[in-house]
Amino acid sequence: MRTLLARYHVQPGHSDAVEATLQKMAAAVARDEPGCLLYRAARSADNPDVFVLYEEYADEAALLAHRETPHFRDLIEGTVVPMLTSRERELLVPVTRGGAS
């Protein structure tokens, strides 16, 4: 399994557009990417111009395939990225299984 954590810092005035685009992206991922086990975007309660994405993929191949999809190229690279001031991404390796602690 591969887990990706991303933090998007959005230019002021563009956060609602980014949120709407991330909703479209989530729908496309759910529809077209069986290797994506979880795709969740959240908006910071403290700063509405910050979004965090949490993504889980079955394996490295599924993560790489995600980056090659038309919806990733159009919605993320073509639409969201130009509205960001910065983007941080971190690849994580799970050390526990899901479920309640």
Taking the alpha carbons of 59, 2, 81, 31 in that order, is the dihedral positive or negative?
A: positive
Domain 2-92 -> CATH class:
alpha beta
From first to last of its 101 residues, the chain has per-residue pLDDT tens of 999 999 999 999 999 999 999 999 999 999 999 999 999 999 999 999 999 999 999 999 999 999 999 999 999 999 999 999 999 999 998 888 776 65
Can you tell me the distance from the alpha carbon of 101 to that of 99, in angstroms, rounded to the nearest whole number? 6
Can you tell me the distance from the alpha carbon of 29 to that of 88, in angstroms, rounded to the nearest whole number? 20
Q: What confidence score (pLDDT) does residue 99 get?
A: 67
Report domain extents, the chain: 2-92
Q: What confidence score (pLDDT) does residue 61 get?
A: 97
Closest CA to 90 of 32, 7, 24: 7
Closest CA to 66 of 93, 22, 29: 29
Cα separation values, 89 from 32, 64, 100, 101, Å: 22, 14, 26, 26
